[in-house]
Amino acid sequence: MDRTRVHVFVSGTVQGVFYRATTRDQARKRGVDGWVKNLDDGRVEAVFEGPEAALDSMIEWCHEGSPAASVTDVSVSIEEPMGLDGFEIKR
């Protein structure tokens, strides 16, 4: 199975609005591996690994985010897959 890895930075009102927990749930639903965490500057950082179609769906979801989120920007870069297994919230 072809796997791709994307590194995502999400800006806006994305902390304290269940963005990380909802990202984890959405990733697991799509069979995407990786992690998500809050950054000190107010952004959320995430890495997704999986089939390209699933990653496209996750990136699209990131533009909306959790119901209470207000996303202003999503920055995406493509990287080499690292073989992540599972999806976690990093502290």
24 catalytic? Reply is: no
- Domain hosting 56: range is 4-81
Number of domains in the chain: 1
Report pLDDT for 1. 59
20 catalytic? Reply is: yes
> Domain with 11 in it: what CATH number?
3.30.70.100
The overall average pLDDT reported for the chain is 97
Catalytic hit among 5, 30, 38, 91: 38
Catalytic hit among 5, 20, 24, 43: 20
Sheet holding 70-79, edge to edge: 70-79, 4-13, 44-50, 33-38, 87-89
Q: Tell me, yes or no, whether 88 lies in a domain.
A: no
Report pLDDT for 52. 96
Report pLDDT for 2. 85
pTM score of the predicted model: 0.96
Q: How far apart are CA 80 and CA 52, in angstroms?
A: 13
**78-91: pLDDT as tens digits:** 999 999 999 999 99
